[in-house]
Amino acid sequence: NKVVELSMEQTPQSIYVPPRVEVYEGMTLEELGTKLDRSLNGVLSGKGNLIAKTCIDSGVDPYIAVAIMLHETGCRSRCSTLAVKCNNVGGQRGYNGWLKYPTLEAGIIGHVISVKAILDNYNIDTTSPTAISDLSSIYVNGHPNNPSDSWTYKVTNIKSKITGAEVARTILDKN
């Protein structure tokens, strides 16, 4: 056994492996985007990474944001005209009617920002079991303490399909 000494010029450089950065529920941004993509259809197909990044950057629960998108657009099967022609993925209205965005990406960002504004302005905690119901009071009915049971049920069901979680029995029993 002969040992050969190597100089620094002869040794291979080490390979840098970046650290794993988990951004949501133990997933990296890319993993979260891939998980969201599995639920996205129609015009929303392939937009999981954009939605994941926008939600994480804004502090919005990505599952709630996507569940609202899928309910409001119908993109679980066939996307609405509002989503396709107006790039409005959140069913958003302004003073003069439905909002129209120049691009789908702008519509996605606008939806997430809108959800974030409601969450912040009304102190809605997305980790609370009543978060979607609380959100529906403003999102659907325009004022607090008046939730839409139908919207809450539908969005909660969609969210559970995205996450793979069971829907709380109390919500199902209401309808």
Phi-psi domain of 174 (left: phi exceeds 0; alpha: psi -120 through 50; beta: other): alpha
Q: What is the pLDDT of residues 10-50, one digit of tens each?
A: 555 677 777 889 999 999 999 999 999 999 999 999 999 99
Judged on CB neighbours under 10 Å (0-12, 13-18, 19+), 56 is: middle
Q: Which residues contact 154 (CB under 8 A, 6 or more apart)?
A: 71
| Whether residue 136 has pLDDT greater than 60 | yes
Amino acid identity of residue 30, one-letter, is E
Mean pLDDT score across all residues of the chain: 89
Place 2 in a pLDDT band, splitting at 50, 70 and 90.
confident
Per DSSP (E only), the strands in the chain are 93-94, 97-98
48 in Cβ contact with 98 (< 8 Å): no
Helix (H, G, I), strand (E, B) or coil at 115: helix
Instruction: Tell me how far CA of residue 137 lies from CA of 52, 87, 101, 140, in angstroms.
Output: 25, 24, 25, 6
Q: What is the pLDDT of residues 88-117, one digit of tens each?
A: 999 999 889 999 999 999 999 999 999 999
| Whether residue 70 has pLDDT greater than 80 | yes
Judged on CB neighbours under 10 Å (0-12, 13-18, 19+), 155 is: buried
Q: Given this model, what pLDDT does residue 171 score? A: 45
